[in-house]
Amino acid sequence: MKIIAVGWNYRAHNTEMGRKEECGNPVVFLKPETALLKDGKPLFLPPFSNRIEHEAEIVVRICRVGKNVAPRFAHRYYDALTLGVDFTARDLQQELRQAGAPWELAKGFDGSAAIGTWIPKEELPIETGIDFSLQVNGNTVQTGNTCDMIHSIDNIIAYVSRFFTLKMGDLIYTGTPAGVGPVAIDDHITGYIDNKKVLDFNIK
Ligand code: MG
């Protein structure tokens, strides 16, 4: 199983991070399987960072093998969605970016890929847009709608499958909207898709 993630996919987030240029293609990176955080397990803050930030993202679950998938067929390659958190060691990421080094250490550490409860895609208004939100200690810190993605789910699947063969159970994190920020020990994280709670865990 592999975890594929897309960066810079919502304009308001790109603006808050000071990114002006827009890429023609999705910005893609990977997380290892050991990054997965599921079933409400806590995230233990790692000792190598002083600033772990939440990035709430719609996550897509791949349901069949796909290579060079055409955008018009991409919808057949995923069967469920949930809300996830692409936890990011922002201080380390900034160091790595300044050094021109890859992001993996800042993005792929243990527990950095939280996922919630799956919702079958038939139950969600994919065409008209899916609302999602993240709360820290009951305060809403991020809200988004999939209509605001720069690269749609179908286009992401088509693009990444040119490089990586998609396999059943692979996950794709589709980028975060504005409002990213740090988490601290004892924070309580909850997340919703269309007012349905799918994420609920603590920071330790
Ligand atoms: Mg992200």
Rounded to whole angstroms, how far apart are CA atoms 160 and 5?
10
Give the Å distance between the CA of 8 and the centre of ligand 1: 7
pLDDT in tens, the chain (204 residues): 999 999 999 988 888 888 876 668 999 999 999 999 999 999 999 999 999 999 999 999 999 999 999 999 999 999 999 999 999 999 999 999 999 999 899 999 999 999 999 999 999 999 899 999 999 999 999 999 999 999 999 999 999 999 999 999 999 999 999 999 999 999 999 999 999 999 999 999
Show the domains of the chain with their CATH numbers: 3-202 (3.90.850.10)
Give the Å distance between the CA of 66 and the centre of ligand 1: 23
Rounded to whole angstroms, how far apart are CA atoms 47 and 40?
21
Describe the strand order of the beta sheet including 188-193 as a list of residue ranges. 139-145, 131-136, 188-193, 196-202
pLDDT score at 18: 83
Give the Å distance between the CA of 75 and the centre of ligand 1: 22
Give the Å distance between the CA of 171 and the centre of ligand 1: 13
Tokens at 110, concatenated: 């243990």
Supply the pTM of this predicted model: 0.96
